[in-house]
Each structure stands twice: as C-alpha cells, then as structure tokens.
Chain A
C-alpha cells in the first residue's frame, strides 16, 4: 500500500528549479532515507508531501488525498525545526497544544517518556539545550499516533548518546508498523536506520535503492597529500588543491596509493578518509558545481560535523 507518492513532482521558486520531475513511492511499513547535500531539494520535497507548498507541475498524494487538504494530514507527523519552538511555552504546553489538533493523541507523559524528556515537562522550551529541543521536536511528530512521519534531519546537532536514543525511538516506531521518511546529510544515519535510500542532488533523484547498493555507489575515498606536482593517475575522479594540500577523489584508494608510490613522486602527509556524500555524488555524477569546491569535509564514524556548504538558493524559504 502506498502512503505517499510524488509523480513527476516539480517545484520552481522563480527561476530556480528546486525539484525536477521527482518520482517517489512510500509504501506502508518502509523506513526510507532521503539523502543529499543542502540545496538538493530534500526540504522542498518534504514541504510538498506535507502540504506546505504546491507543486509547480506534477502531483503529490498523501494517504490517498491531497496533502493540502487538512483531512489528509490526520495520520502524519512532522518535526518542526528546533529554533521554531515558542520559547515562552513549557514543554508540556507545547505537547498539549499540538495534541489538541488530533483525535486520539498519545498522552503527554507517555510521549515525553518515549523520548527521554519526561523530566522536562515543566521547563520553558527557550531554556532547553539544543539536544533537548531536538528531542521535543521529534517527539511532536509522533503525538497524533501517525502512520507516516516525516523527519527532517532529526539528529542534526545532537551528541552521540542523544542521537542513538533518538534512533531507538524511530526504530521502535518502525518496528510497530510505522512508516518513516527521514532526511539527512549523513550516510551513517541513513545506514543505521533506513532500508531504502533515495538520493537527491540538484532537485533530481540520483539513486533510489537499498542502502547497501547506494553505499557501494558512494564508496568514494578522499586521498590527501602534499606534493609539488602529480602525474596523471588512473582512477582519479576529482582533484582539489586547498592550502597546499592536494585532495584526490577515487573509488579505489588502495590502487591509487600503489600508483602514487610507483610513480616515484615525493609526497608527504598522506591521509585517506571517507568522503562526504556531497563529494561522492558530485564526483560520480560529474556535476562539479560551485558548492563542490573548497569545502573541507569530514565524515567521521560517530560525530559527523556539518560539512556541507550553506544553502545558496535565494528564493528558498527556511528549511521545513
């Protein structure tokens, strides 16, 4: 059964095409990751699916209806951005307020307990830490006993423990039959949660496949070194020079290092790291665009820093 669908969904803001003929089917019980750098169209796609915006062409369906019809949104949940919580309201009040919109909301204590913030019910949201706000924001998506939740970068800015706890909450919802569409810049997060991943880049679907397949697709490594001049090497998908350090993007770092040594070039400070998805996709889709250059990237194993460039689309509203 299809809970949400986009058919050739296109969205333009003035001259900028944020989403370009995107097809997406979300089946009941799926946990789908939506991956892509800032500006890829993730937030725009979500805003179409939850009825905040209209398609410029094509269409979207939500639970068999038009997402712009409030009735179609009865069984969905969405995370607000943490910066948007009304700072003077208490945590319990925010939950009660959102609950009032649903016929059969989850009781406040149960909801807050599930996300480990039941001791914060009396606190004003303005005084919460970033992680606490984030947990509250994610909890709000689940207050109406949804069948389908849209989580827009749910763990951005969380520490390791908090992120794992949130993941557990999302997994539990999915294990109970819930459907999730989760956007993230982090491959790691998608790997930890999702079974299927949809990769967006510049408004297009670049890949829609199992997590394993996509991981292989983006298995690009960044080989950094300091060297005066490099010969042309096979298997290099991209070259950047930043502050005297040369960065090579490749899908086979082992072979590249063998070739480097074999070439006899004098190099130092060799370093091999996994790339960000942004790097990987720009290398793979040969679309080296303005936001690809000069961005130092780190995708760590446990604490990914926000490595992607800022959103540069002028007409795009705040991420929703």
Chain B
C-alpha cells in the first residue's frame, strides 16, 4: 500500500511537470460548460444543475479515456516500465499507483467545471447531494477507466491517441451529455441508453436531483463494465505475456 502511494505520487509528479497535460483533460468539459451551459441554462436552477452534472460526467469520461489510453500506451513503449519490474515489488504497486493517480487527476479535472457552475450559473447542490455526486463520480469512473486501460494495453501509443480522440466525442454526444434530460434529438434518445455515457450521466442526475433512472441505461452500463473489464483484462494479460513471460 505504501509503495502504491509512492508510485501514485511520482506518476502525478510526472504529469504535473507538463502542465499542458492537465489543461488538456480539463479543457473540453470546461469549454463545453462555457459555450453550452452558461449561455443557455439561464435562470433555471434544475436545468443548470443537470447540465453541470452532465459536464462532470463528460470530464470523468474524457479524463479517464485519455489518461489511461495514452498514458498506458506510452509507458509500455518505454524501457523504464520493465526496469521497475526488476525492483523488489511485483506489478501490483505500479498498477494500483496508476489507478490512485488516475482518480486524483479525475477529481482535478472536475474543478473548473464545478467552479464555473458555481460562479456563472444557477446550479446549486445540497451537502448530501454533493456527497452522493462525489460517490457517483467514483462509480462512473469505473467503465471509462476500463475503456482507457483497454485502449492503452491493446494499442501502440500513436494508435491509442487517435482511438481515444475518436471515441470520446461520439460517446459524449450520443449519450446525450450535451443536452438537458429528455431534450436530446430523437435519434440520440434512441441510441443513448445503449452507450455507457447515458447510464453514467443518469446516475449523476439522480445524485443531484430527482431524476428517474431508465433501467435500460443502467443495465447497459453494467454490460459495458463487464465487456470493458474483459477487454482490458485480456489486453493486460496479452501485454504481460508479450513483455514479461
């Protein structure tokens, strides 16, 4: 456990040394907040709160897909990773450290969204709802972490960058993150429940308001988690087999 924290600390340190990397993961959600939410949510407190929750989901998704997808793929290409395997620790502290650092980065990327919501919109949230949202963020980080790991462990870094960029926008748009609940265009209403972003954002909406969750979205979110876990696990074992067996 102590070693996991050490690994997390140095991974964060490496990330912070290139500040633009921080800006990157927080940029899209914050920009979407400024362009789509602030001008249009007006004085409606519920609309603003739901829109903020959607942008938080957006941020959780993009941060995790990018940081794991690209970070893991780049690390796999470096001889530093195998060197660390010769130290008297197994692969576990490095992996646990990566997840801890990933959670910290996720929380950091949310700060601009939450600050913009508090300052520039009518979005308001009660203490218990804030805690519920906090817990929900950790839950909805799971499928996107797995998606990032699946990309990072199965693709070389140049391909991982492209795939991460290709998947994140359709997931956000198709999942209805850019529209208020029930106001998405028709075709998005049709496909959204089948995307992991929809189940995730509905959980967030339920945490910050009294949104009735669509069971289909939740079931599909569960299916996504199982499938992504299987792909990530397969890719991880294949990578271990190639490099360390």
Contacts and interface: CB of A to CB of B under 8 A. Distances in A.
For the residues of A in contact with B, the DSSP-based class is loop
Nearest to B18: A88
B187 interface: no
Contacts of B81: 84
Given A52-B244, A53-B244, A73-B88, A93 B83 contact: no
Interface stretch (A74-82, A109-117, A235-243, A294-302): A74-82
Contacts of A83: 78-79
Nearest to A51: B86
Most A C-beta atoms less than 10 A away, residue of B17, B79, B89? B79
B88 A71 contact: yes
B77 to A, nearest CB: 9
Interface string B86-102: 11111000000000000
B243 A317 contact: yes
A88 B17 contact: yes
Contact of A100 (B3, B78, B85, B242): B3
Nearest to A140: B83
Contact of A93 (B10, B80, B88): B10
B14 A144 contact: no
A122 interface: no
A271 B137 CA distance: 74
Nearest to A315: B242
Interface in B1-60: 2-3, 6, 10, 13-14, 17-18
Contacts of B79: 80-81, 83-84, 318-320
Contact of B86 (A52, A318, A319): A52
Interface residues of B, number: 24
B10 to A, nearest CB: 5
Given A54-B245, A73-B87, A97 B6 contact: yes
A257 interface: no
Interface string A291-320: 000000000000000000000000001111
B82 interface: yes
Contacts of B3: 100-101
Contacts of A270: none
A86 B14 contact: yes
A89 interface: yes
A271 B17 CA distance: 54
A70 interface: yes
A317 B88 CA distance: 22
Contacts of A317: 82, 242-243
A176 B108 CA distance: 49
Contact of A89 (B14, B243, B244, B245): B14
Contacts of B82: 52, 84, 317-318, 320
Contact of B88 (A81, A101, A319, A320): A101
B88 A84 contact: no
A203 B219 CA distance: 54
Nearest to B93: A101
Interface in B176-220: none
A78 B88 contact: no
Given A54-B245, A101-B88, A84 B13 contact: no
B165 to A, nearest CB: 23
Given A83-B79, A100-B6, A89 B88 contact: no
A70 B243 contact: no
A70 B90 contact: yes
Contact of A84 (B83, B89, B90, B245): B83
Nearest to B6: A100
A256 to B, nearest CB: 44
A97 B85 CA distance: 13
B153 to A, nearest CB: 16
A320 B83 contact: yes
A97 B10 contact: yes
Given A89-B17, A97-B6, A317-B243, A50 B86 contact: yes
A167 interface: no
Given A88-B18, A93-B10, A144 B83 contact: no
A78 B83 contact: yes
Nearest to B77: A318
Interface in A43-101: 50-54, 70-71, 73-74, 76, 78, 80-81, 83-86, 88-89, 93, 97-98, 100-101
B10 A53 contact: no
Contacts of B244: 52-53
19 contacts: A51-B86, A52-B82, A52-B244, A70-B89, A70-B90, A76-B86, A78-B83, A78-B86, A84-B80, A84-B82, A85-B80, A88-B14, A98-B87, A101-B3, A101-B88, A102-B87, A102-B88, A317-B82, A318-B82
By Cβ-Cβ distance, the 9 closest A-B pairs, closest first, are: A80-B83, A84-B79, A88-B17, A84-B80, A101-B87, A78-B86, A81-B79, A74-B88, A73-B88
Given A52-B86, A70-B88, A70-B89, 4 more contacts: A51-B85, A73-B88, A84-B81, A88-B17
